[in-house]
Amino acid sequence: MNRHVVICAGESSGDALAAGLVRELSSLAPDVHYTGMGGARMREAGVTTRFDVSELAVVGLVDVLVQYPRLRRLFRSMCEHLDATRPDLLILVDYVEFNLRLAAHARQRGIRVMFYVSPQLWAWRSGRIRRIQRSVDAMAVLFPFETELYQAEGIPVRYVGNPLVDRVQPPDSPLTTRLGLSADTPVVGLLPGSRGGELRRHWPVLVEAARRLHAHEPGLRFAVALAPGVERERLEGIASADGLPLHFVSSETDTHGLMAESRLLLIASGTATLEAGLLQAPMLVFYRMGWLSHAVFSRLVRLDNIALVNIVAGERLVPEYLQRDASPERLAADAAALLDDPDRLRQMRERLAIIRERLGEGGADRRAAEMALELLEHGQLLEGS
């Protein structure tokens, strides 16, 4: 009899993580079939998704309130799916608040739960560990320092590593060639983020910063990374008025090419900063959120750095710009100063080599799949595995 795994991811990065896990688990246990919620990558890996979440990603209190009716309907539907199918395992990938509620529902039904990607308990709202303790059978974490938090509370946990180590590699062919540019064309990469709120707040800032940089150095070209589900037309209209030389890329390979080959990146804080760090790409990291969200989060977050690339390094390798500091004027001025100083760019590249060292060896997808298989076959993690 085929075993059934429900797997739930709520945004682009989780969709990619879930897909990697499913591919590896499928090779270890071909009899398992998968349903759940996710995006295109999960479907390509063999998951029958009941809901496509490409437009679901939210950030900040206002975004959550706007999406709340839809999130509530989606949560109820997922609970009904669990009740109807009673899967052998529920795997929850990031998307913390939604998935922790789903974990609690599954626990009440006697369904085993594996949570993949730890909430940032070390940054804010550490009290969530109590909810995890009540509802989750095993935690798969991406950073080695996270295991201590769960071990101290008696929660089964395993450090699997970070899948980005395998996924992020320099492309074989130059991106500039595929964009129709000469190899020596100076390119600045623009990465505004993937969520709707991020795009609304970040893209106009990047466009104005790019206009200022282009006025400073007319030979510059700008390459924009489109996250899955983001339509080019949505961004292009804002930037087309004065002929700003923009090129758009959308595949993961081309995005990594953009990171590897750009002279400098202007990049929204998020997982993408780790990808850029793995490619030793000089960058300025910025982030803007709604005033209400910022007022709340600034009281709760206890970190010196907000960019994952700096958090992993344990020091500020790249500059960060938050809220008002993330202005077009400030970003353009500091970017121009860096572009005019090849030695500083070289030094930043060299220092970023520590990111691949800190993230460890590859094979995270496989280790996460092995955890899931242990839960499927033994109901718990095996000692010494």
Q: Are residues 146 and 201 in the same domain?
A: no
Q: Are residues 333 and 209 in the same domain?
A: yes
Q: Are residues 117 and 29 in the same domain?
A: yes
Look up the pTM and report it: 0.82
Number of helices (H) and strands (E) in the chain: give both, helices first.
18, 13
265 assigned to some structural domain: yes
Angle at 328 between CA 327 and CA 334, to 5 degrees: 90
Q: Are residues 209 and 197 in the same domain?
A: yes
Q: Are residues 350 and 367 in the same domain?
A: no
Task: Give pLDDT tens digits along the chain (385 positions).
Answer: 689 999 999 887 889 999 999 999 999 999 999 999 998 899 999 999 988 876 555 444 445 555 667 788 889 999 999 999 999 999 999 888 889 999 999 999 999 999 999 887 544 456 678 889 999 999 999 988 889 889 999 999 999 999 999 999 888 778 888 888 888 899 999 999 877 778 888 999 999 999 999 999 999 999 999 887 777 877 777 666 567 888 898 888 889 999 999 999 999 998 899 999 999 999 999 998 755 554 445 555 555 778 999 989 989 999 999 988 999 999 999 999 999 999 999 999 999 999 999 998 899 999 999 999 999 999 999 876 6
Edge-to-edge strand ranges of the sheet holding 89-93: 47-52, 32-38, 3-9, 89-93, 113-116, 138-141, 157-159
- In the beta sheet, which residues pair with residue 285? 267, 320
CA distances from 367 to 8, 20, 204, 361, 377 (A): 18, 11, 41, 11, 15
DSSP 3-state of 309 = helix
Q: Are residues 304 and 187 in the same domain?
A: yes
262 assigned to some structural domain: yes
Q: Are residues 373 and 311 in the same domain?
A: no
- In the beta sheet, which residues pair with residue 265? 189, 283
Q: Are residues 179 and 280 in the same domain?
A: yes
Q: Are residues 348 and 368 in the same domain?
A: no
Q: Are residues 306 and 327 in the same domain?
A: yes
385 assigned to some structural domain: no
Closest C-alpha to 230, from 194, 191, 275, 272? 194
Burial category of 273 from C-beta neighbours within 10 Å (exposed 0-12, middle 13-18, buried 19 and up): buried
Q: Are residues 84 and 55 in the same domain?
A: yes
Q: Are residues 214 and 346 in the same domain?
A: yes
Tokens of 125: 């709202």
CB 364 within 8 A of CB 165: yes
DSSP 117: S
CATH number of the domain residue 312 falls in = 3.40.50.2000
Domain that holds residue 153: 3-162+363-378
